[in-house]
Amino acid sequence: MKPSIKLAIAMGAGAAFTLGAVATASAAPKRGGMLNIVVGSKIPSYDGHRETTFGMIHPIRPFYSLLIRVNPDNPQSTSDFVCDICSNFTKSSDGKTYVFKIRENVKFHDGTPLTSQDVKATWHKLIFPPKGIASSRKAFYGMVESVEATGKYEVTFKLKYATGGFIPALATPFNFIYSKKDLDTHGYKWHMKNINGTGAFTFVQHQPGAFVEGKRYANYHLKGEDGKNKPYLDGYKAISAPKMAIRLQAIRGDRAQIEFRAFPPKARDDLKKALGDKITVQESDWNCVMGFSSNQKLKKFQDVRTRQALTLGLDRWGGSKYLSKIAIVKTVGGTVFPNHSLAAKKEELLKLKGYNPDMAANQAEAKKLLAAAGMAGASVELLNRAVDQPYKVVGTWMLGQWKKLGLKTTQIVLPTGPWYAKFRKKKDQETMIDFNCQGVVNPLIDASKWLSNDIASNNYANYQDRQLDKWYDQMNRTGDEAEAYSIMRKYEKRIVDEKAHYAVSFWWYKINPYRSYVKGWNIAPSHYLNQSLDQVWLDK
Amino acid sequence: MTAADVTSVSEIDELRSQKTFIEKSADMFRKQPLGAVGFFVVLAMIIMAIFANYLAPYDPTLNDFAAMLIAPGADYWLGTDQFGRDIMSRLIYGARTALFVGFAASFVGATCGLVLGVMSAYFGGTFDLIFQRIMDVFMSFPLIIMALAIVSIFGPSTQNVIIAITIPFIPRCARVVRSNALAIREIPYVDAARALGFGHARIILRHMAPNVMAPFLIMLTSFVGQAILTEASLSYLGLGVQEPTPAWGLMLQGGAEEYIESEPWIAIFPGVAISLAVFGFNLFGDSVRDVLDPRLRTQ
List pLDDT tens digits, range A326-356.
999 999 999 999 989 999 999 999 999 999 9
Q: Nearest by CB to B61, which of A270, A323, A403? A: A403
A413 inside 8 A of chain B by CB = yes
Do residue A51 and residue A172 come from a single domain? yes
Q: HSE (CB half, 13 Å, CA atoms) of A243? A: 9
Q: Which residues from chain B sit within 8 angstroms of residue A241, using beta carbons?
A: none
Question: Is A297 a member of any domain?
Answer: yes
Phi, psi of A20 (to 5 degrees): -60, -45
Q: Which residues from chain A sit within 8 angstroms of residue B259, using beta carbons?
A: 266
Query: Using CA atoms, how far apart are residues A49 and A175, in angstroms rounded to an integer?
Result: 6
Q: Which DSSP state fits A132?
A: T
Question: Is A16 a member of any domain?
Answer: no
Tell the CATH topology of B97-246+281-298: MetI-like fold (1.10.3720)
Do residue A240 and residue A293 come from a single domain? no
Q: Nearest by CB to A322, which of B68, B244, B262? A: B68
Do residue A217 and residue A88 come from a single domain? yes
pTM of the entire structure? 0.83
C-alpha A305: how far from chain center: 32
A245 inside 8 A of chain B by CB = yes
Check which CATH number belongs to the domain holding A163 and give it. Answer: 3.40.190.10
Pure H helices in A61-165: 116-127
Higher pLDDT, A87 or A3: A87
What was the pLDDT predicted at A490? 97
Q: Which DSSP state fits A303?
A: S
pLDDT band at B5 (very low <50, low <70, confident <90, very high): low
Do residue A465 and residue A530 come from a single domain? no
Do residue A411 and residue A531 come from a single domain? no
Instruction: List CB contacts of B82: < 8 A, sequence separation 6 or more.
Output: A326, A393, B68, B69, B254, B255, B258, B259, B263, B266
Instruction: List CB contacts of A413: < 8 A, sequence separation 6 or more.
Output: A384, A385, A386, A392, A395, B156, B238, B242, B243
Range of the domain at A253: 34-257+517-538
Do residue A214 and residue A351 come from a single domain? no
Question: Is A238 a member of any domain?
Answer: yes
B154 inside 8 A of chain A by CB = no
Contact state of B262 with A270 under an 8 Å Cβ cutoff? yes
Question: Is A243 a member of any domain?
Answer: yes
Do residue A367 and residue A228 come from a single domain? no
Question: Is A99 a member of any domain?
Answer: yes
Query: Using CA atoms, how far apart are residues B12 and B15, in angstroms rounded to an integer?
Result: 5
Do residue A459 and residue A534 come from a single domain? no
DSSP-based helix, strand, coil % in chain A, nearest 5: 35, 20, 40
Check which CATH number belongs to the domain holding A427 and give it. Answer: 3.10.105.10
Contact state of B238 with A386 under an 8 Å Cβ cutoff? yes
Query: pLDDT tens for residues B196-208?
Result: 999 999 999 999 9
Number of domains, chain A:
2
Q: Nearest by CB to B258, which of A267, A318, A414? A: A267
The one-letter amino acid at B258? E
Residues 370-389 of A with CB under 8 A from B: 386, 388
User: Per-residue pLDDT for A362 more than 80?
Assistant: yes
Where on the phi/psi map is residue B238: left (φ > 0), alpha (ψ -120 to 50), or beta? left
User: Per-residue pLDDT for A1 more than 50?
Assistant: no
The one-letter amino acid at A22? V
Of A211-215, A509-513, B147-151, the poorest mean pLDDT is in B147-151
Q: Taking CA atoms, what residue in B is nearest to A397?
A: B63
Question: Is A68 a member of any domain?
Answer: yes
Q: Is the peptide bond before A75 cis (omega within 30 degrees of 0)?
A: no
Query: pLDDT tens for residues A427-450?
Result: 999 999 999 999 999 999 999 999
What was the pLDDT predicted at A12? 43
Q: Which residues from chain B sit within 8 angstroms of residue A423, using beta carbons?
A: none
The domains of chain B are located at 97-246+281-298
Question: Is A521 a member of any domain?
Answer: yes
Question: Is A130 a member of any domain?
Answer: yes
A392 inside 8 A of chain B by CB = yes
Query: Using CA atoms, how far apart are residues A327 and B92, in angstroms rounded to an integer?
Result: 27
Give the DSSP H/E element, type plus range, for residue A483: helix A481-493
Instruction: Enter the ipTM.
Output: 0.76
Contact state of A270 with B261 under an 8 Å Cβ cutoff? yes
Largest CA distance in chain B: 84
